[in-house]
Chain A
Amino acid sequence: MNLTLKIWRQKNTTSQGKMVEYKVNNISEDMSFLEMMDILNEELIVKGDDPIAFDHDCREGICGMCSLYINGEAHGPDRGITTCQLHMRKFKDGDTIYIEPWRAKAFPVIKDLVVDRTSFERIMASGGFISVNTSGNTQDANNIPIPKDDADEAFDAATCIGCGACVATCKNSSAMLFVSAKVSQLALLPQGKLERERRVLNMVDQMDKEGFGNCTNTGACEVECPKGISLSNIARMNREYLRASLVKKD
Chain B
Amino acid sequence: MSKAFEMFSSSIGRKFVMSLTGLFLITYLVIHLAINLLSLVDAHLFNEASHFMGTNWFIQAMQYVLALGFIFHIVQGIALARSNAKARPQKYALDKPSTNSSFSSRSMIITGLLVLLFLVLHLRDYFWELKFDDMNGHATDFDLVVALFANPLYTGLYVFSFIMLGIHLNHGFQSAFQSVGVNHPKYTPGIKKFGVIYCVIVSAGFSLIALVHYFNSL
Whether the Cβ atoms of A234 and B178 lie closer than 8 Å is: yes
Whether the Cβ atoms of B89 and A171 lie closer than 8 Å is: no
A201, chain B: closest CB distance, angstroms: 9
Whether the Cβ atoms of B88 and A220 lie closer than 8 Å is: no
Most buried by B among A104, A106, A235: A235
Q: Determine if A245 is an interface residue (Cβ-Cβ < 8 Å).
A: yes
In the complex, what residue of chain A is closest to B104 when comparing beta carbons? Answer: A218
Whether the Cβ atoms of A238 and B100 lie closer than 8 Å is: no
Q: Which of A213, A214, A231 contacts B88 (CB 8 A)?
A: A213
Q: Give the number of residues in B that approach A within 8 Å (Cβ atoms).
A: 43
Q: When chains A and B are docked, how far (Å) is the Cα of A241 from the Cα of B178? A: 13
Q: Which of B14, B89, B171 contacts A217 (CB 8 A)?
A: B171
Which residues A1-36 have CB closer than 8 A to chain B? 6, 8, 19
In the complex, what residue of chain B is closest to A222 when comparing beta carbons? Answer: B100
* B66-82 interface bits toward A, Cβ cutoff 8 Å, 1 = contact, 0 = none: 00000000000000100
Whether the Cβ atoms of A73 and B99 lie closer than 8 Å is: yes
Q: Determine if A69 is an interface residue (Cβ-Cβ < 8 Å).
A: yes
Q: Determine if B131 is an interface residue (Cβ-Cβ < 8 Å).
A: no
Q: Which of A6, A100, A213, A231 contacts B84 (CB 8 A)?
A: A213
Q: When chains A and B are docked, how far (Å) is the Cα of A232 from the Cα of B86? A: 26
Q: When chains A and B are docked, how far (Å) is the Cα of A71 from the Cα of B171? A: 26
In the complex, what residue of chain A is closest to B183 when comparing beta carbons? Answer: A235
* B83-120 interface bits toward A, Cβ cutoff 8 Å, 1 = contact, 0 = none: 11011111111111101111001101000000000000
**A213 / chain B contacts, CB cutoff of 8 Å:** 83-84, 86-88
Whether the Cβ atoms of A235 and B181 lie closer than 8 Å is: yes
Q: When chains A and B are docked, how far (Å) is the Cα of A100 from the Cα of B95? A: 10
Q: Contacts A103-B88, A174-B87, A236-B181 given: A72-B12 contact, CB under 8 Å?
A: no
Whether the Cβ atoms of A171 and B97 lie closer than 8 Å is: yes
Q: Which of A8, A105, A204, A234 contacts B86 (CB 8 A)?
A: A105
**B178 / chain A contacts, CB cutoff of 8 Å:** 217, 231, 234-235, 238
Q: When chains A and B are docked, how far (Å) is the Cα of A234 from the Cα of B11? A: 12
Whether the Cβ atoms of A231 and B92 lie closer than 8 Å is: no
Apart from A171-B106, A204-B12, 20 more pairs, CB < 8 Å: A6-B93, A19-B93, A72-B94, A98-B93, A104-B88, A208-B11, A213-B83, A213-B88, A215-B11, A216-B108, A217-B174, A218-B101, A224-B100, A231-B178, A234-B183, A235-B183, A238-B12, A238-B180, A241-B13, A245-B6
**Contacts from A to B (Cβ < 8 Å):** 6, 8, 19, 69, 71-73, 77, 98, 100, 103-106, 169, 171-174, 176, 204-205, 207-208, 211-220, 223-224, 231-232, 234-239, 241-242, 245, 250
> 18 A–B contact pairs at CB < 8 A?
A6-B93, A71-B94, A72-B99, A100-B92, A172-B87, A172-B88, A212-B11, A213-B83, A213-B86, A214-B80, A214-B84, A215-B15, A223-B99, A223-B101, A232-B185, A235-B178, A241-B12, A241-B13
Closest 8 CB pairs of A and B: A235-B183, A213-B87, A239-B181, A72-B96, A172-B84, A223-B100, A245-B7, A173-B87
**Contacts from B to A (Cβ < 8 Å):** 3, 6-7, 10-16, 80, 83-84, 86-97, 99-102, 105-106, 108, 171, 174-175, 178-185
